[in-house]
Amino acid sequence: MRNRIVGLVVAALVAAAPALAVVLPASAAGGCAVETQIRFQYPSMQRGELTVVSVGRSLGEWTLRFQLRYPTEQLKHVDGVRWEQHGGQVTLRGLPGAGLPADRRVSFPYVMTRGVKGGGPAAFTLNGVPCGTVLPPAPGPTATPGTPSPTLSPTPSLSPSPGPDPNRPLVRIIRPEDGDHFFAPATITVEATATPAPGRRIARVEFFGMGDLPEPVPLGTDTTAPYTARWRDLPAGGYLLFAWAYDDQGAKQSSAAPLVRVLTPGEERQAPYVSVVRDRLWGISPVIDAAAPRPLAPLARTGAESRCVHGQGIWDGPVDATAVDRLAARGVQAVYLPLNEACWLGLPYVDPRYGGEPYRQEVVAYTERLAAAGITPIVALTWSHGSYTGPGAVCRDERAVCAKPMPDAAHAVDFWQSVGQTIGTDAVVYDLFTAPYPDRAIGDPALAWTCWREGQEACAALGYPAVGMRELLAAVRTGSYGVLLAAGLDGGHDLSRWAGHRPEDWVHNVAAAWRPAAPGDCRPPALAQAPVVVTAACR
C-alpha cells in the first residue's frame, strides 16, 4: 500500500509538472518572464528546462537570479550559462557574446538534486527586475512575401474544460508540508485554511488520511478556524492527508494531499543519496529534509573479489548487522567493496555455492545493511577477465583470478548492467574499475588515455578485447543514476589527463577515484570540476 501511495503521488506530480507558473505582471513592457519545466524526476535528482524571455528589449549582458527553497535542492549543472549557487540563492550569467534577444524564448537545460521535499526555482529577477513566470505567446512563423499560405486540415472543435467553480470554497492544508517526516508511534497534527465564496461562510472542514488501509480514515471535523485534526499512534509508513471544506449552502471542495513519512527510530541514519555538484560530493537525505557535503574515506571490506573464485567463500570477515553497527559506532562513512565479475555473473568455473545468485544476494544484503546504518557502500569491479602478459602482469590466467590492466569486453558490460539493475539505488557509489594500468603496455600517454575512455582498438596492445569507461558508464546507467567513480592510470594514481577524458554523463554524476602509489602518499590531486575520492588506505 505504501508503494501504491507513493506511486500515485509521483504520478500526480509528474502530470502536474510541465509548468510552474506565476502571473506575469501587467506592465510587461521592458520586463521579463521565466518558466521552469520538469522533464524527468529520479529519487535523488531532477532534469528540467528553464526558459527566459526578455520582454520588449534586447540584453547584451544579463544576470538571472532565483531562490531554491530546500537545502536538498543543489544545482548540479546548467547548459549554456555561467552559474553559481550560495545557499539557496542561484545566479546565472550569459556567456560572453550570448545575449538575450527581445521577446524570444531562450532555454537552458538544468540538473539539480532533490530530496523528500522540493520547491523548485522561485522569485526570479533579470538584471534586478522582478520576473513573472508565465511566458508571453511565442511569435508565429513569418510568411515570405508571395508565398501562398498553407491550407490547414480542419480540426475538431473541443469544448474548453470548465474552470474552477467560483461558488466553491477554497481549502488548503498548511501543516504538515509534503515530505515532512515523523517518528513512530507518531501523532500528526493537520491544519488547514478554508475560504468561502463571497456572501457565504465555511460550515465545517473534514479531515481524512490514507495509509495501509484501502479506505480513507476519518480524522475529525472542525467548525472554527484554525481548522485542525490529529492522527494518532501511526506506525512507520507513508501517509496521505486531505481535507474537505463545506460552506453554509452545501458547496464543497477538497484540498491537495501532502504525503508525509513516519520513520522507525534510527531510520534517519539512512545513508544519503550521493551526488556530484561541481567539485564536491553532496549527501542528499532520502528520508528527511537534509543535505551536506559528503567526504568519503572508505574502509575496505575485501574478500569478495578473490575468495569466491578460489572456492573459499565470499567475505574475509563478518558482514552481519552487528559488524555493521560496529563500523557505524566507529564513525565509518563509507565501505569499499571490491567485486569479481565472474562471481557476480556465476560463470561456470565458479563454485555455485559462492557464485551467481548466492553471491549477488550476499552483496546486495550487505549494501542494504550498510546504507541503513548511514554508511555509503562503494561497489567496485576489481577482478575481471583478460589474458594479459605484458608489463606489470600479475598472472597469465585469462579467468578473473587476478588484477588486469583494463576491464574485459567479454563480461564487464554485462557485470555493470546487472549490478546497476540489481542494486539500483542512488545511495550506492559505483567504482567502474579499481586500478587501471593500460599505460604500462601503451607507451603513448595520449593513446593510453584513449584506451582508458574508449577501450576497443585503442587497447590493442593489451592482447585481449578491453572496454573503456564510457561504455561501462552507459551500462550502469541502465539501472542506476548514482555516482560513478573512474580511477585514473598507473593503478588509479595518475589523474593528469582525467579531466580531458572524463566520460560524459547526462546526469553529471561522475567523480574521480584516486589510489596512492606508495604508503604515506595521502595527497590526491585536485580537479577543478570533479570531486576526487581516495579509494585505498594511504596511511
The full set of domain ranges for the chain reads 19-130, 170-263, 298-534
CATH architecture designation of domain 170-263? Sandwich (2.60)
Query: DSSP strand E in 278-375: where?
Result: 280-284, 291-293, 299-300, 334-340
Check residue 518 and give its pLDDT: 81
Residue 19 pLDDT grade (very low, low, confident, very high; cuts 50, 70, 90)? very low
Domains 19-130 and 170-263 share a fold: yes
Distance CA(273)–CA(442), nearest Å, equals 37
In this predicted structure, the answer to whether residue 8 has a pLDDT above a threshold of 90 is no
Nearest 5°: phi and psi at 265?
A: -55, 130
Local structure of 466: helix, strand or coil: strand
In this predicted structure, the answer to whether residue 289 has a pLDDT above a threshold of 50 is yes
For the chain, what is the mean pLDDT?
Answer: 89
| Residue among 448, 436, 519 nearest 485 (CA) | 436
In this predicted structure, the answer to whether residue 395 has a pLDDT above a threshold of 80 is yes
Peptide bond connecting 258 to the previous residue in cis, omega within 30 degrees of 0: no
Distance CA(59)–CA(53), nearest Å, equals 10
Check residue 521 and give its pLDDT: 79
- Which residues have C-beta within 8 Å of that of residue 18, sequence separation ≥ 6? 37, 38
CATH architecture designation of domain 19-130? Sandwich (2.60)
CB-count burial class (<10 Å; 0-12, 13-18, 19+) for 316? middle
In this predicted structure, the answer to whether residue 402 has a pLDDT above a threshold of 50 is yes
In this predicted structure, the answer to whether residue 229 has a pLDDT above a threshold of 70 is yes
In this predicted structure, the answer to whether residue 194 has a pLDDT above a threshold of 50 is yes
In this predicted structure, the answer to whether residue 362 has a pLDDT above a threshold of 80 is yes
pTM of the predicted model as reported, rounded to 2 decimal places? 0.85
Q: Per CATH, is 298-534 categorized as 3.20.20.80?
A: yes
Distance CA(313)–CA(323), nearest Å, equals 18
In this predicted structure, the answer to whether residue 23 has a pLDDT above a threshold of 80 is no
In this predicted structure, the answer to whether residue 27 has a pLDDT above a threshold of 60 is no
- What percent of the chain is predicted at pLDDT more than 90? 80
Longest C-alpha distance within the chain, in Å? 89
Per residue in 172-191, pLDDT (tens digit) is: 999 999 999 999 999 999 99
Per residue in 117-167, pLDDT (tens digit) is: 888 888 999 999 999 988 988 765 543 444 343 333 333 333 444 456 788
* Angle subtended at Cα 535 by Cα 532 and Cα 539, rounded to the nearest 5 degrees: 105
The one-letter code for the residue type at 278 is: R
Cell of 7: 506511486
Check residue 405 and give its pLDDT: 97
What's the rounded mean pLDDT across residues 334-357?
97
Look up residue 405 and give its DSSP letter: S
| DSSP run (H or E) holding 460 | none
Distance CA(443)–CA(458), nearest Å, equals 12
More confident residue, 34 or 134: 34
In this predicted structure, the answer to whether residue 29 has a pLDDT above a threshold of 90 is no
- Return the number of other C-beta atoms located less than 10 Å from residue 306's C-beta: 19
- Return the number of other C-beta atoms located less than 10 Å from residue 205's C-beta: 29
Query: DSSP strand E in 248-399: where?
Result: 252-254, 259-263, 273-277, 280-284, 291-293, 299-300, 334-340, 376-383
In this predicted structure, the answer to whether residue 450 has a pLDDT above a threshold of 50 is yes
